[in-house]
Amino acid sequence: MRNWDASQIPDQKGKVAIITGGNAGLGYEIGLQLAKKNTTIIIACRTESKGAEAIKRIEQALDRKIEAAVIQLDLTNFDVIRAFAATFKARFSRLDLLINNAGVVNLKERTTTAAGLEMHMATNHLGHFALAGLLYPIIKNTPHARVVTMSSGGHKWGEINFDDFNWEQRPYHRTKSYGDSKLANLLFVMSLQERFEQDGASAISVAAHPGLSATERQQSIGIGGWLSKVMAQPVWMGALPALKAATAEEVKALEYYGPKYGIRGYPRLAKMDEKVFDKKVAQRLWEVSEQITGVAF
């Protein structure tokens, strides 16, 4: 069977996509390929000038103007997330694709947000939870919308410890705390789909992981960075699982796409760890996330 690549993305004219972290790394590549197929892309990033620069680079790469906007988003700040959602809703009346891509990875020291939340969980899960919750009405009202959440093979090392959610009591472990957030991403994918079904929405919740992809940041992270320099696949290839989850017609709810050979290769269905199917943990995580973010779906 022919490998799936970005040339197979169907024309997306009229569709609107938000890409968190669309200014750099995998998010930039996802934006580039979606724009190439005529999607209106909204780059959701911390620094507006970096988003504007990304749009300029995409236009240069495609040698034409694209439909695009930059709206500032800091996933660690719930007020900024609310402002993002309000701005988006004032300017757009549909949301076909929400790509929850932005993330921080394997932070060396335990780091917290201004609100005292552990940084991986806050950025990678809680910020995206709040964002999706605030955009939920518009997603629900857009026919056949998709929410694509970027996880990682590292979700297998995660564990949701509700007694020490912010790593205050245990000695900090960077791979595990990152893994917690990536497990939370997949538990969220599951619960979000349930919510769509309960509400009779045609939207679907799907997931992807990029294997080991040679983004600039990835290559600067400790041993993982060294490994990445030697073994990682190019960024364009790492973006394919998320692009397939976002656009291929055959994709179904709750599917999880990753590279064929785990860390590299063209996209195919990937396996989630059994922890992802623990409904009690998923339910509790949803409740805790609602409490912390103050966002109810």
Ligand X SMILES: NC(=O)c1ccc[n+]([C@@H]2O[C@H](COP(=O)([O-])OP(=O)(O)OC[C@H]3O[C@@H](n4cnc5c(N)ncnc54)[C@H](OP(=O)(O)O)[C@@H]3O)[C@@H](O)[C@H]2O)c1
Strands (E), 50-102: 68-72, 97-100
CB of 200 to ligand X, least distance (A): 30
Q: Which phi and psi (to 5°) does residue 65 adopt? A: -75, 150
Binding string, 124-163, against ligand X, x = CB under 6 A? x-------------------------x-x-----------
Whose Cβ is closer to ligand X: residue 27's or residue 201's?
A: 27
225: buried, middle or exposed (CB in 10 Å: 19+, 13-18, 0-12)?
middle
Residue 184: HSE in the Cβ half-sphere, 13 Å Cα cutoff: 28
Query: Known catalytic residue: 178?
Result: yes
- DSSP summary character for residue 232: P
Q: Which phi and psi (to 5°) does residue 240 adopt? A: -65, -40
Binding ligand X (rule: CB under 6 A), the pick from 106, 193, 213, 289 is 213
- Measured distance CA(153)–CA(229) in Å, rounded: 18
**Which pair of tokens denotes residue 213?**
């992809």
Interaction residues for ligand X, span 22-61 (CB under 6 A): 23-27, 45-47, 50
Whose Cβ is closer to ligand X: residue 186's or residue 201's?
A: 186
**Which amino acid would we find at residue 90?**
A
Binding ligand X (rule: CB under 6 A), the pick from 218, 247, 289, 293 is 218
Binding string, 104-123, against ligand X, x = CB under 6 A? xx-----------------x
**3 lines the binding site for ligand X (CB under 6 A):** no
Q: C-alpha 79: how far from its chain's center?
A: 20
- Could you say which of 136, 178, 256, 257 is catalytic? 178
Residues that bind ligand X (CB under 6 A): 20-21, 23-27, 45-47, 50, 73-76, 101-105, 123-124, 150, 152, 209-210, 212-213, 215-218, 238
Catalytic residues: 178
